[in-house]
Structure 1
Amino acid sequence: MTIGLQRLLATRGATLPVTDAGEAAVRAPRVGNRALFGGLALLTALVVVLDFRTGEDLSLVPLLVVVPALVSVFGTIRQTIGVSTLIMMVVVGSHLTTDGTFWEITTGVVVTVLACCLGVGACVLRIRHATEIARLRSAAVALQRQILRPLPILTDQVLAHGIYTPIEEDRLVGGDIYEVVQSPYGTRVIIGDVQGKGLAAIGAGFAVLGAFREAAIREPALTGVVDALEDAVARHNVFSAQTGETERFVTALVLGFDGSDRVQAVNCGHLRPRLLHDGVARAVPLRRAFVPLGLAELSSEPRAVEWLDFPPGGTLLLCTDGVTEARDASGAFYPLDARLGRWAERAPYEVLEALDADLDSFSGGVRRDDIAALALRRAAVGDLGGPSDGARGARRAAEAFSGR
């Protein structure tokens, strides 16, 4: 699984099933607030003792009606009811033992009961809201798994590790996209960046991913895959225009691996990949960068394939501009090429771990854009436990699909 998604899922408890959402929403507070409830019990006892010592000159017990309200913010319904019952017994008993008038005692009892009931009601509403939020997060995780597959991914030709960090903390998916597909023609890989941010950008990214997953298996030529992606973005923009949303374009780098020392590439306005090999990191020279997906009408030049070197033991690093455009406190951009040289001899996942930590340190934890990066290495025996049955299964499925 990607590093960024591991953090998000861990912090949100999002891997829990929907049916356990309500329990998950209150389990952590119930365990973490035992000290708080012990403190409230001591506070209640202290107030009772002080009230007894001060006599009727200064009545402190009625102030305990605020305790159920405090408990309703942190505790469960059962805890709130228990504390409210205890407070009602203490406060009502205190009122009944005073020498006040009938109306004073009645008013005190009614106010106490009302305050405790309001505390319980507030707790019920909070738990209900927390349950709904937990269910929504569970649904978001299910949707995320359909949009972006967990990494690492092993195919017959490539082992792909990755990191993914959306800029918005309340979302599991941003405008950056990636996918790795085993096809009858080798492994096809895409990494891309949708123009803009927000839900509209996610929709455009989903359109590209859906088209890529189908075209990667169907199209013999890599340019055919890219043409299908162009059509998908164009259709999405037509729909967006009809619904009043902004039209989008997508920068993308599409690669094709056949197991040899060379890789096919079609660059649609995206960042060039980096090759880490023999202790050296360098940008791969791509002579041509075509217009982004969705803007083919602006260019009369058809997209074409270039060939890149991919030597054994080398690592191809693909990333989005969230990496290269990260800034430090002075506004300087992240020096990707200079930093990669430090990690050129490391394994792909170690390069990504170092890159993720270094980006966080460089930017002071302030991210201005989604971040996605893939580290690709030629598949070998022993990767993820040896030759991948899953990869062979994916290839068989691809062949079956192409033969329909």
Structure 2
Amino acid sequence: MTIGDRRAAVVGTDPGEAAVSAPRVGDTVLFGGLLLLTAVIVLLDVRTGEDLRVVPLLVVVPALVSVFGTVRQTGYTAAWIMAVVVTSRLVSGGTFWDVAVGVGFTVLACVLGVGSCLLRIRHATEIARLRSAAVALQRQILRPLPVVTDQVVAHGVYAPIEEDRLVGGDIYEVVESPYGTRVVIGDVQGKGIAAIGAGFAALGAFREAAIREPTLTGVVDALEDAVARHNTFSAQTGEVERFVTALVLGFEGEDRVEAVNCGHLPPHLLHDGGAAAVPLRLTSVPLGMAELSSEARGAEQFDFPAGATLLAFTDGVTEARDASGTFYPLDTRLDRWAGYGPSEVLDALHADLEAFSGGVRRDDIAMLALHKAPTGNRRRQSGAMSGQGARRAAQTFSEW
């Protein structure tokens, strides 16, 4: 699933009708089928005679229509069925109490069918509003890709483990700063809303620090402080403290990339028809665990030649398994797509992951494919953001 804008469409005349995912049946088809069903049931009832009355079975039809129809369609169906069944009951005769009980049961069943349709649409309306709020929240947490800066073009794929969620525990961000483009991709320990909260804390800190801090290690220190503060608050509220594995990248020069690896998987470089993991030697503890290590985090550099694609990802990729439990062989599979463009690599890799795992996802998946921006792309007039502009941008992110 390539990251992009997600929009909730509003269609239909009844409130909440747009939120009903099941396809609605047109009035002509519905009423045509209703007439046909009624004719068949009435003929069967005539043939079976008094021994077996089948017309009363029509009372289940409004309940069935309420599952996929609108309130208006369910109401018309209930009125029609009520008229047919009640008329049949009156014509067939019987004692007063037999007729009264039969008519009362028919009316009750039809009213319940319309009521269940109303409740379904009300519930669908609430779900639609919640999902709309989730879409708005996602746009604040995770930026739609691709993102184009002076140094790189960032394409991405994001697939939460739970289909009913738009955001999971994996995070990413791309920020253009006075010190070049800075990128983070990370994986929060655990899943659920609490994991999303820890990820949001890290993202907010990155958006501010990426513009404010002149060094990449300074950015990572700000992330560490943010996760530590979040964990302190979590402990006070009885929630589990969490750590975040993260890879922070800085693109400033022409052919070099700076990296700080906080317990994350190393990126892979696709270039000259081959793919290989970037040999990062300095791997420190994840964010939120700095107090457990006596060594300060350090940055290192590696080559990023022209025409190359840098692929960063979370462990949802490498820990995907097939039916036999075998892990996904990323290193051998990437060679197949070494000559592809960034978006094509992501599409091919995502499709191969789905095929390999049989569509069974065990973890969130986030992937970024970074490629050098075209020469002269969005050139800044002064070559860098002014200090005053940087402070304004940092203040904006902080207030946000």
Q: TM-score, normalised by structure 2?
A: 0.91
Find out whether 1:237 has 2:231 as its counterpart: yes
* Stretch of structure 1 that moved more, 306-315 or 329-338: 329-338
Find out whether 1:228 has 2:228 as its counterpart: no
Q: Deviations over 1:189-247 (max 9, x none)?
A: 00001111111111100100000001101111111110100000000000000111110
Q: Deviations over 1:77-101 (max 9, x none)?
A: 1011000000111111112222322
Q: Deviations over 1:124-177 (max 9, x none)?
A: 111111111111111111111111111111011110001111111121111111
- Tell me the equivalent position of 1:128: 122
Matching of residues 232-311 of structure 1 within 5 Å: 232-311=226-305
17 and 267 in structure 1: CA distance in 2 versus 1, 3 angstrom threshold: farther
99 and 33 in structure 1: CA distance in 2 versus 1, 3 angstrom threshold: closer
370 and 47 in structure 1: CA distance in 2 versus 1, 3 angstrom threshold: same
C-alpha contact 1:157 1:379 (8 A) present in aligned 2? yes
- Tell me the equivalent position of 1:402: 391
- Tell me the equivalent position of 1:46: 40
Find out whether 1:86 has 2:80 as its counterpart: yes
C-alpha contact 1:33 1:75 (8 A) present in aligned 2? no
Find out whether 1:138 has 2:170 as its counterpart: no
Q: Which ranges in structure 1 are unaligned for 5 or more consecutive residues?
A: none
C-alpha contact 1:175 1:197 (8 A) present in aligned 2? yes
Structure with greater helix percent: 1
Name the % identity.
72
Q: Deviations over 1:18-67 (max 9, x none)?
A: 99981312475324797566444322111112223443333221221111
C-alpha contact 1:18 1:138 (8 A) present in aligned 2? no
Amino acid across the alignment from 2:266 = R
Find out whether 1:168 has 2:162 as its counterpart: yes
Find out whether 1:371 has 2:360 as its counterpart: no
Q: 1:180 aligns with which of 174, 178, 184?
A: 174
Q: 2:209 aligns with which of 209, 212, 215?
A: 215
- Tell me the equivalent position of 1:113: 107
Measure the CA separation in 1 of the matches of 2:32 and 2:387: 61
34 and 214 in structure 1: CA distance in 2 versus 1, 3 angstrom threshold: farther
Measure the CA separation in 2 of the matches of 1:121 and 1:15: 26
- Tell me the equivalent position of 1:15: 8
Matching of residues 324-335 of structure 1 within 5 Å: 324-335=318-329
C-alpha contact 1:17 1:138 (8 A) present in aligned 2? no
- Tell me the equivalent position of 2:310: 316
Measure the CA separation in 2 of the matches of 1:67 and 1:247: 53
- Give the 3-state SS of the residue equivalent to 1:246 in structure 2: coil
Q: Which ranges in structure 2 are unaligned for 5 or more consecutive residues?
A: 396-400
Alignment length (residue pairs): 390
Deviation at 1:345, TM superposition (A): 0.9
Deviation at 1:113, TM superposition (A): 1.0
Find out whether 1:349 has 2:375 as its counterpart: no
Amino acid across the alignment from 2:189 = Q
C-alpha contact 1:182 1:217 (8 A) present in aligned 2? yes
* Stretch of structure 1 that moved more, 97-106 or 292-301: 97-106
Find out whether 1:153 has 2:147 as its counterpart: yes
